[in-house]
Structure 1
């Protein structure tokens, strides 16, 4: 297999992984009806970037495509870091960095003022783990493990395409 074909295949793997991660999040939110917390919403952004970088790797010339693949590695590392932070919040090792993940604080004032200060859409607390399909790992932990696997595949793809070049 030529290095260019290997690179295109690696780009398709990145695209498929990003679509899988985002599709799973969409399914859990819109079909299963589980409201995401703010950390869950933040964890989707690296996958959006990986989707763009994987698509770029598929269409760009060889050298530029390799750069897109290499840029996906720190983005996947960010995804793992967000997942680790989220698991730490779920396990009560540390508080969430987002104020919306904590219980609301009610300040004195009229009932109307209290209602006006409430969010329009309630969010799920970040420390309430979501376990799917009987698995012993939360969605945040699964996301981090998936990002690690995809990063490993990306590294292997980069090494293989470099060896064949």
Structure 2
């Protein structure tokens, strides 16, 4: 690893990446792409990673905390992969934001379901470029960020030997 890539710099890059993903999500929201329930769920681990990384850099917290940053990024990557599968109808999503079969519903139950339906559904692709959706990007970037967190931890361990 190049000598300029210190453990603290790796943590800062990972935290900045999570912060950038959050900012991008808010920009997309401002541009008229409101988040579904699974989109919002994917934001929380990024917030944890960004705040943790900021604290680690500013307060010089021990690199042992990098494991929590990696865990946060792996968590949001998992949520992103799950959401990708829901969007592509590979598996069922949560009832709170996906379409449900209506064949067994009474008219009254169907009307109640329609009235309670969210504005944004998790099983519809809101945006994509070349077949890559926002949850796909989140999962891929989050795995990269997790790698940075792990590299920071391992490089700190090697330096201490």
TM-score by length of structure 2 reads: 0.81
2:65 alignment counterpart: 68
CA–CA distance in structure 1, aligned partners of residues 93 and 147 of structure 2? 28
1:91 alignment counterpart: 88
CA–CA distance in structure 1, aligned partners of residues 23 and 38 of structure 2? 17
1:153 is aligned to 2:148: yes
2:125 alignment counterpart: 129
Give the superposition deviation at 1:15: 2.2
CA–CA distance in structure 2, aligned partners of residues 78 and 136 of structure 1? 23
Report which stretch shifted further, 138-147 or 154-163. 154-163
CA–CA distance in structure 1, aligned partners of residues 106 and 150 of structure 2? 49
1:16 is aligned to 2:12: no
Give the superposition deviation at 1:106: 8.3
Question: Once superposed, what is the RMSD of the aligned Cα atoms?
Answer: 2.8
Gaps of 5+ in 2: none
Gaps of 5+ in 1: none
CA–CA distance in structure 1, aligned partners of residues 123 and 72 of structure 2? 24
Cα deviation digits, residues 9-38 of structure 1 (max 9, x gap)? 12311221111110110111102x112111
